Structure 1
Amino acid sequence: MSEVAVDGLTLPPLLVRASAGTGKTYRLTGRLLTVLLGGADVESVLATTFTRKAAGEILDRVLVTLARAAEEPEALEALRGQVEIAGLSAADCQRLLHRLMRDIHRLRVCTLDSLFSQLARSFAFELRLPPGWRLTDEIEEAWMRRRAIDTMLADIDGEILSTLLSMLGKGDTARSVDRELQGIVLDAFSESRWCPPSAWESLQVPSAPESAELTRAAGVLGSALVGHKSADAQLRKLGMDLESRHWPGIVGHKLIGDVAGRSSGDDGLTYYRKPLGDDVVAALETAFAGAKTEVLGLLRLQTEATGEVLRSYAEHVDAIKHQSRAMGFDDVAFRLARWIDSVAIDTLDSRMDGSIHHVLLDEFQDTAPAQWSVLRPLALRAATDPPRTTFFCVGDTKQAIYGWRGGRAAIFDAVAEQIPGVEQATQDLSFRSSPVITQFVTNVFQHLGRHPKFSDSQPVLQSREDYEAAALQQFAAQFPRHASAKTTLPGFVRLHTGPEVDAEGAGASARREVARLRYVADEVARLAGEAPGRTIGILTRTNRSVAYLIYLLRELGVDVSQEGGNPLTDSGAVEVVLSALRMAEHPGDRRWAYHVSHSPLSALLELPAIGPRRRDDRVADRVDAAATRVRERLEYEGLAATLIWLSRSLIPICSESDATRLRQLLGLAHAYELNRQPRISSFVELVQQKRVERPRPAQVRVMTIHQAKGLEFDTVVLPELGGTLVRQTRKCIARTDGPTEPPRAMLRYLSQTQWQMLPAEWREAFGQHAAGLVTEALCLLYVAVTRPRHALHMIIDRAAKRSFETRTPASLLYHALGCTEDPTQSTADLFTAGDAGWARHLSPLPEPSAEVSPAKPIYLQPPPPVPNR
């Protein structure tokens, strides 16, 4: 076993399973400080995480901890306990701090993106990267994806394209070709890169029964009489469908499923409690065999077409990226993963200007197979090369919520097998939440099996429901008891129903949604008033309702913002500037000119107010002249200079908020000009999509649960717990030999009613995928309920029935908590725990700084559209 010795202290390879709020960053920072205090060279340390914010927090903690320990005896004593070095002195801390500050550029505390970029730049020739390449962002990736699909469609012969699209849709061409191809690319392209062409041809299609045999079976079914009117009618219908070879009427029928699920030695079949004769069972088996051949034959064609589309897409998108000298993070990770096993570890050291002997991996449960392939050689040496190397890995499989972007929590478990001599430790004592919160979390997740739809455990897993129930029960069985280190911290938990809304007819769903969100906004405004200055996080499951909630809260005068920032179009000043740019590019489109003419830019561009009248030549001339002024500025002075010219007319009359957004718009323009696109509309699209944070966070922040990962709030509100627990969105399913292995076979997704047609190995792959979706949904719920320090408010829709057996997070919570209140009531408390007045027991917060002056709107901005369910 490899280890580092620091004053007699040994550091064996360590894997830590740290639950939410238990001091994961504290543990990693302590390990990093121990290594550095032991004399490790700065450039020999690598600490990786997934976000720049997390990397900055780790580095900040290291430097601040050392600085305080060098000056304050209490901080020094605390650091001694953290790093377990009793003889640590203030002078030791001061010396290490000076060494770190001197060589801060050589200390690798970074994101995986940064590490992989450094590796790729060091080995650009070996990886066949274009000279001067750069990393793309999500917006540019989407633009290149659309361009690659357009180019691909243009290059394929029309008749071949029609056949290919028909095969993709099992004989039916999709209404939106672009949307269909976009979905396939987003879903399966990352995995398809690892697959040989044969992976898309792995499905074996059995031979169909002879036509005469099918006809005989149809006759038996059509004439069968079992003594029950409905049963006889269903058998006749099956016989007619089989006679006409109408396979959709046969596939998914209960009797066909019963035949498919039979094992040798099973008793005879019954239908409507009537026994079926051997001749009828044999006819059903023949019908099943014919339907199976039909379904699997179409599925194989669809799968092969998908593989062909992805191969063609790969060629086109690689050409576009090579020409643009731009690579996405997935592109870099893919090239590194395929190449790194062929290079000697000493070569990595020489190119990276230093040997990495100490590896610390954060948030490891979200690691993708390609990322682990790159990290594994470094981790193996750090764990096995004597005499002074260390390996440390921390994560929590209960917080694995990024499976949709390639993360595999099972890799975390595989580390224990692949890293020799690794020790394991657990952390379940929360330093974040009150005892009320931690007790609630334990009660919920250890009793998930109380839900009626998930309580049955099947010895043999066959259907999707079987796999989902098994996954939920396993999650509950493995869930550790949580406790709080802050035993006196006040807290409160509340699960309650929303208002009763009488909405019928057209648009009823939208009206109910609006009423629900208004109720949520009113509740949040009340909570903000009861605990002034205490942070509130509103965590949604999707992005759909975020903007509307922000609008409603601002209407109520609540200080609110969106985590990760909003597009700059939340500012009226920015919208006016963008309208001027669009007018310059499309002067014939009177919308933009109308907007500009009714704004302060009208004087600058000499554009009088335009009325809503029919086209007027004099108005057209004025619009053309104004558009020409903007175009000339863009052509001769550039985008950023043009925006400065336009903004100077707006900033004197803007609110401070709008002025800040204009400055941030200029920052985007400067960055855009480094790699500008030929059309100005590309910049407008960038501004509409790019999220930019405001300098000051608000008391109330609205975000998705994914965005809340790593954050904490005094109060958390969960307003979207009524949706389906899992949503099947995958178009392709992969079969692998292990969590760290690439796919060896790919297959297009098949609906659950047709699973019985699949070979056993594919039924298991589909079932494991369904189980993974349930596990990820439970992880998402766990992340949501572990964000609060003091209070958790869960607002759910009224149940339609008293039994409340829906497969939703709300129903899971209701049954796991053992609630007895009627869930069909409106605005009723179903569960409460703790003290609703928790904020009164805390010391008052300092007075907030003076607020920014109220906004002076440039124009009245209409409310955002009502979200649709």
Structure 2
Amino acid sequence: MSLNPAASLAQRKASDPAATVWVNANAGSGKTHVLVDRVVRLMLGGTEPSRIMCLTFTKAAAAEMANRLFERLSKWIALEDAALRDELKKLGLEHADDALLQRARQLFTRALETPGGLKIQTIHAFCERVLQLFPVEASIVPHFTMLDDREQLSLLQEARNTVLSSAKDEATELGAALRDVVNRVNADDFDKLLTGLLAKRANLRALFEEERGLERAESLLRVHLSLEQGLTRESLVSGLTCDVARYRDLADALDGGTDTERKTAAKIRAACVAGLVRLTALQSILLTGEGEPRKAVANKPTLAKHVWIEDFVKADQRRLVDALGTMGDLECLGATLSLLRLGSAITRGFETAKRARGAYDFDDLIIKTGELLQERPDAAWVLFKLDGGIEHLLVDEAQDTSPMQWQIVQALTAEFFAGEGRHGQTLRTLFVVGDRKQSIYSFQGADPNVFEQVLGEVKGQVEGVGQEFREVDFSVSFRSLGEILTAVDGVFPPGSAARTGLDGETPREWSHVPNRRDAPGTVELWPLVEPVEKQEPEPWQAPVDREPAQSPRRRLAEKLAKTIKGWIGRRMLPGRKRPVEAGDILILVRQRNSFFDAMIRALWNEQVPVAGADRLKLGENIAVLDLVALAQFAIMPEDDHALACLLKSPLLARPLTEDELIAIAAGRGALSLWQSLQAQESEPCCRAAAFLRPLIDDAPAARPFEFFSAILGKARLAIVSRLGSEANDAIDAFLDRALDYEEAHGTSLAGFVNWFQAGEIEIKRNMEQGAGEVRVMTVHGAKGLEAPIVILPDTTSDEQPRGGESLLMLEGGGGHARVPLWAVPKLGASRAVKALKAAQKDVATAEHRRLLYVAMTRACDELYVCGFRGVQEPSENCWYNTIAAALKPGMTELDNGQGWRLGAAPVMAEVPATAKPVEALALPGWVAREVAAVPVTAAPQARKRAEARVARGLLIHRILQNLPDLPEAERAGHIDVAVRRAGHDAALATRLKALIAEPVVAELLSADGHSEASLITVGPDGGPERRRLDRLVMTAEGLLVADYKTDREVPETAAACNPEYLMQLATYREALRLAGPGRPMRFCLLYTEAPRLILVPDALLDRMAALRGARP
């Protein structure tokens, strides 16, 4: 596919290392490609790879960038001069001489030789590394560990319980704070409120680590609420005196009116009896029950007779309304401070628990690194040590970078454009790529306004020192076809309400240009699925945990599942020139809600391959629940519920039917379900009982991992067949937790079950590739992904799904942490809080629109928009109505009248002509004859032994790949755990630990090496051929390369090794010599069966090279 000239020019400008560059990259515009271009051009210009740092948002993005970089550099090694010059020309290097060609071919080796590897990592990984290097300067525990989600949740829960228990004494400040909060919410809302507050603990901790933090919080809140410092409800009320004499005159005037006026007069006189009247005593007279001014206190005849009344009453109504609003703000302030007092106490307890364990969480990494680089006395020295090693910094997905993360970036680059850092001979640059339109992670701290602010600051810094700053726009999409992009531009036209939030304060001109012109795209809008009249279900069929059969959500899910089933294999993807496959389809929703579950279930019911949920809560996964029920029963056979669940699960070779289970359970009297099962004589019950009896015997002494592994060895296939592929991930994660528990707490099966159930564990599944299955994901989870066909069914949800959020995060100002404000429900009269909530809603609406942009731009070839309607009409600003209003007028109605289309109609796949029927063949007579039982021979055992050897070899291979990433002190422990987990005996672990102690193997496992390194060699036909090096390390003696082999027969010497293996090593040597002429190299084979390492002499490789016709 040819490259759009505009795109080529923009990419060259962005990758030019002569300038600091800020790239605004539309979705699918090739930002990763340009990041790699930039790094390559920096290295071609002579920059050492160790002085280039790339910060990405996710580990997957970092791995993708590193893979692309090594793939390109390894490819260059074997390219002819003309082809390599063409590659360099694409980078903007028009005239490449021989010296530049040689340098380009050496980049691969230079990158591999970089101590510690290339610095392409997430900002959290960078921060962890910095804190490990400077623990004393950061005032943290050396050799700290990272808390996983479960440990973090457990420590938070302990801190919370401790604080709430100590707050029972109402005489304390903490007790008074607790009473104030719980009096305003019910139990469920209190739990949600506290959970929401603790989710913002990074801000809380920064706030309360400051001296007199609560006082500063109150001061900040008063500024936001426009409350005078020191103003209280009492002082406000005391100032609300009124003109008693005038009100008596008003009462006299009303006496001459209607009965209603006379009643009002009586109320006024009663209020004036005390002499000094507060205006609040007249609230029911001046205001309505909703707190609004009454239209008239007196009737028209009375007002005509006493003209002073109207102005007098309106003035006091305004005073009273303002006062009540201020009272509401004061009440909100007081409630917030009570909540903050609780939150700060829990946060302090949490921090104390972490310090006691020498552990930190991901928020700590950012906060502690920010403090180290900006506030600590040794900050200048630390920056010198770090900054001296960084000449060029690249930041990916900048729109997702939080303010605290930006502070770290700015600290790292401050010396680039100031002091000696700017006057040095070496030009130091910053490269930032992002897209405000794709900023959708506000719940993680991302702020598109900060993105714009940093852009202005960086531009000012660079231009202020006379360096070149470029702001480059990427408008060409390499992902989506033209019709998709036309739809996107149509939904977000300049000046429209939909564009609000995509642009900053100063609107930018942007649009999308397709680079792909290989096929027409398709955008379809389908009518909403409407609700139907409810039908009362049969009592036993009433849905309890799923959408009713007639609900619009479920009907839409079933319609989509049937449609997708009809597409697969029967419809063409013109842009791909092949039929649609399940892995081509991505269904995006806004939240994991009832529709999300219904969609996965509907696909499963239609037997469409589906990847399952992108996130799994282990404690709610049915496969895991079955395993827990198994353990509960084995520990206590009297647990009837656990046994009932177990008897219906695929853990049994033949689960019981409903009728069989009822037969056991009903009418059993005082018998337990287990006793009743054992008393049955039917074959299914007898088999079930025989399966369960040994488990009861084994449970008291069983280690959790071994107990579950033994069961899963037989049952895993049945579980996955019944519950889908996501069960595999859930089971693996569950087994990992069993190992974690054994290492940290011991080997009690009962203890593990109790520990597992006490915490909530959520795992994120890898959905990067379709893997031949339909993916159903949230838009947030799909960020960075793409698919040929994207379906948007969740388009009628409220524009602000978190609109019920009662905690408003307000700016701290002056570099201080943000402060939360609790918008207490049902206060009603607080005008300032209403304004702040309205502002937050505007922010949420803007992100709601950016989320739509991200959703639409995941589509490569086809986009389908549909939805469902509930009892109420969808919001005017919901995605469906936004898309329909923009696109429907220009779309063509479908032939069946069930929707509208922009672009080409789907093309059906060609169905082969009906083949001639195959004639039925008569089966030979011996098929029907009964055969005597065949005695068991050695063949099955031999096959099992062979399979075991292969599994053993793969295990060793995997262990050797993982060891370089671990500190030497942890490697032996990792071997023990990995071997035990795989079910092998301790002897294998002993041999492996002896192997890694050998000097050459120790060199292989150095952290300066690379596993599975890509290498382009010259193939037999003279063309490039991609290879993978199992291990490549740069040592003091040169390059050390190892190939892992799983052969059963292990040779004693290099000469006895398989000639194909030796020829392979000779090929590797030839390619590496092209990349780094004159560099010493050693090659070896590591046989995993023994295990044994064999060094291959150069003379033997020379003979192999000669046989191959290669250069010796």
The TM-score bracket by the shorter chain reads: 0.7 to 0.9
Distance in 1 separating the partners of 2:240 and 2:406: 52
Segment of structure 1 superposing worse, 678-687 or 385-394: 678-687
Distance in 2 separating the partners of 1:828 and 1:249: 55
Residue deviations 1:811-832, cap 9 Å, x none? 2222233649999x99965642
Segment of structure 1 superposing worse, 438-447 or 493-502: 493-502
Q: Give the Å deviation of 1:147.
A: 2.3
Report the counterpart of residue 639 of structure 2 in structure 1: 589
Are residue 379 (structure 1) and residue 385 (structure 2) matched? no
Report the counterpart of residue 493 of structure 2 in structure 1: 446
- 2:584 is aligned, of 519, 529, 535, to 535
Distance in 1 separating the partners of 2:352 and 2:62: 33
- What amino acid maps onto 2:884 in structure 1? Y
Distance in 2 separating the partners of 1:614 and 1:310: 52
- What amino acid maps onto 2:314 in structure 1? V
Report the counterpart of residue 886 of structure 2 in structure 1: 816
Residue deviations 1:834-866, cap 9 Å, x none? 01226879xxxxxxxxxxxxxxxxxxxxxxxxx
Q: Give the Å deviation of 1:388.
A: 3.6
Distance in 2 separating the partners of 1:276 and 1:620: 87
Residue deviations 1:456-506, cap 9 Å, x none? xxxxxxxxxxxxx97589789536121111234320111221333313488
Report the counterpart of residue 798 of structure 2 in structure 1: 724
Are residue 783 (structure 1) and residue 837 (structure 2) matched? no
- What amino acid maps onto 2:853 in structure 1? Y
Tell me, yes or no, if the aligned pair for 2:202 and 2:363 is still in contact at 8 Å: no
Report the counterpart of residue 762 of structure 2 in structure 1: 689
Match of 1:105, SS?
coil
Segment of structure 1 superposing worse, 614-623 or 146-155: 614-623
Report the counterpart of residue 864 of structure 1 in structure 2: none
Indicate how the Cα distance of structure 1 residues 830 and 688 shifts in structure 2: closer, same or farther if over 3 A, else same. same
Q: Give the Å deviation of 1:526.
A: 3.4
- What amino acid maps onto 2:25 in structure 1? A
Choose 1 or 2 for highest CA Rg.
Answer: 2
Distance in 2 separating the partners of 1:655 and 1:747: 47
- What amino acid maps onto 1:334 in structure 2? I
Segment of structure 1 superposing worse, 550-559 or 683-692: 683-692
Indicate how the Cα distance of structure 1 residues 667 and 185 shifts in structure 2: closer, same or farther if over 3 A, else same. closer
Q: Give the Å deviation of 1:418.
A: 3.0
When normalised by structure 2's length, the TM-score is: 0.63
Indicate how the Cα distance of structure 1 residues 632 and 71 shifts in structure 2: closer, same or farther if over 3 A, else same. farther
Report the counterpart of residue 31 of structure 2 in structure 1: 24
Match of 2:785, SS?
coil
- Point out where structure 2 has 5 or more consecutive residues left out of the alignment: 1-11, 272-278, 297-307, 463-468, 537-541, 573-579, 655-659, 679-688, 911-1112
- The total of aligned residue pairs comes to 791
Indicate how the Cα distance of structure 1 residues 248 and 397 shifts in structure 2: closer, same or farther if over 3 A, else same. farther
Residue deviations 1:43-75, cap 9 Å, x none? 222101111111000000100111223334586
Indicate how the Cα distance of structure 1 residues 688 and 646 shifts in structure 2: closer, same or farther if over 3 A, else same. farther
- Point out where structure 1 has 5 or more consecutive residues left out of the alignment: 259-274, 452-468, 842-869
Tell me, yes or no, if the aligned pair for 1:170 and 1:301 is still in contact at 8 Å: no
Indicate how the Cα distance of structure 1 residues 622 and 493 shifts in structure 2: closer, same or farther if over 3 A, else same. closer
- What amino acid maps onto 1:611 in structure 2? A
Distance in 1 separating the partners of 2:285 and 2:201: 28
Indicate how the Cα distance of structure 1 residues 690 and 621 shifts in structure 2: closer, same or farther if over 3 A, else same. farther
Residue deviations 1:256-277, cap 9 Å, x none? 999xxxxxxxxxxxxxxxx993
Q: Give the Å deviation of 1:397.
A: 0.7
Alignment of structure 1 residues 703-714 onto 2, 5 Å: 703-714=777-788
Segment of structure 1 superposing worse, 528-537 or 407-416: 528-537
CA RMSD of aligned residues (A): 4.8
Q: Give the Å deviation of 1:137.
A: 2.9
Q: Give the Å deviation of 1:448.
A: 7.1
Report the counterpart of residue 706 of structure 2 in structure 1: 641
Are residue 111 (structure 1) and residue 122 (structure 2) matched? yes
Match of 1:313, SS?
helix
Tell me, yes or no, if the aligned pair for 1:365 and 1:410 is still in contact at 8 Å: no
Report the counterpart of residue 137 of structure 1 in structure 2: 148
Segment of structure 1 superposing worse, 185-194 or 366-375: 185-194
Tell me, yes or no, if the aligned pair for 1:566 and 1:692 is still in contact at 8 Å: yes
Alignment of structure 1 residues 54-453 onto 2, 5 Å: 54-72=61-79, 76-77=84-85, 79-86=87-94, 87=96, 90-103=101-114, 105-159=116-170, 160=172, 163-168=176-181, 171-172=184-185, 174-175=187-188, 177-187=190-200, 190-191=203-204, 193-194=206-207, 196-202=213-219, 203=222, 204=227, 205=231, 207-208=236-237, 210=239, 213=242, 243=281, 253=291, 255=293, 277-341=310-374, 342=376, 347-348=381-382, 355-383=389-417, 385=421, 386=424, 387-419=426-458, 420-421=461-462, 422-446=469-493, 449=496
Q: Give the Å deviation of 1:809.
A: 1.9
Are residue 515 (structure 1) and residue 555 (structure 2) matched? yes
Distance in 2 separating the partners of 1:148 and 1:801: 43
Report the counterpart of residue 861 of structure 1 in structure 2: none
Report the counterpart of residue 463 of structure 1 in structure 2: none
Report the counterpart of residue 964 of structure 2 in structure 1: none
Segment of structure 1 superposing worse, 342-351 or 180-189: 342-351
Indicate how the Cα distance of structure 1 residues 125 and 799 shifts in structure 2: closer, same or farther if over 3 A, else same. same
Are residue 834 (structure 1) and residue 908 (structure 2) matched? no
When normalised by structure 1's length, the TM-score is: 0.79
Distance in 2 separating the partners of 1:127 and 1:290: 49
Report the counterpart of residue 490 of structure 1 in structure 2: 520
Distance in 2 separating the partners of 1:834 and 1:247: 65
Tell me, yes or no, if the aligned pair for 2:522 and 2:903 is still in contact at 8 Å: yes
Q: Give the Å deviation of 1:620.
A: 6.4
- What amino acid maps onto 1:513 in structure 2? R
Q: Give the Å deviation of 1:684.
A: 5.4
Residue deviations 1:630-669, cap 9 Å, x none? 6986775632222222223425766675778655643453
Q: Give the Å deviation of 1:36.
A: 1.9
Tell me, yes or no, if the aligned pair for 1:214 and 1:287 is still in contact at 8 Å: no
- What amino acid maps onto 2:901 in structure 1? T
Indicate how the Cα distance of structure 1 residues 559 and 171 shifts in structure 2: closer, same or farther if over 3 A, else same. closer
Tell me, yes or no, if the aligned pair for 1:536 and 1:713 is still in contact at 8 Å: yes
Indicate how the Cα distance of structure 1 residues 434 and 600 shifts in structure 2: closer, same or farther if over 3 A, else same. closer
Report the counterpart of residue 952 of structure 2 in structure 1: none
Q: Give the Å deviation of 1:670.
A: 3.2
Distance in 1 separating the partners of 2:820 and 2:285: 24
The structure with higher relative contact order (CA 8 Å, sep 6+) is 1
Q: Give the Å deviation of 1:190.
A: 3.1
Segment of structure 1 superposing worse, 41-50 or 585-594: 585-594
Indicate how the Cα distance of structure 1 residues 332 and 773 shifts in structure 2: closer, same or farther if over 3 A, else same. same
Indicate how the Cα distance of structure 1 residues 352 and 640 shifts in structure 2: closer, same or farther if over 3 A, else same. farther
Q: Give the Å deviation of 1:301.
A: 0.9
Alignment of structure 1 residues 788-803 onto 2, 5 Å: 788-797=859-868
Q: Give the Å deviation of 1:155.
A: 2.1
Report the counterpart of residue 950 of structure 2 in structure 1: none
Indicate how the Cα distance of structure 1 residues 478 and 212 shifts in structure 2: closer, same or farther if over 3 A, else same. same
Indicate how the Cα distance of structure 1 residues 619 and 745 shifts in structure 2: closer, same or farther if over 3 A, else same. closer
Report the counterpart of residue 665 of structure 2 in structure 1: 611
Q: Identity over aligned residues, as a percent? A: 20
Match of 2:138, SS?
coil
Report the counterpart of residue 7 of structure 2 in structure 1: none
Distance in 2 separating the partners of 1:598 and 1:360: 55
- What amino acid maps onto 1:65 in structure 2? R
Alignment of structure 1 residues 518-597 onto 2, 5 Å: 518-528=558-568, 529-531=570-572, 532-533=580-581, 535-544=584-593, 545-562=595-612, 564=614, 566=616, 574-584=624-634, 588-597=638-647
Report the counterpart of residue 753 of structure 2 in structure 1: 680
- 1:736 is aligned, of 793, 811, 824, to 811
Tell me, yes or no, if the aligned pair for 1:359 and 1:382 is still in contact at 8 Å: no
Segment of structure 1 superposing worse, 629-638 or 148-157: 629-638
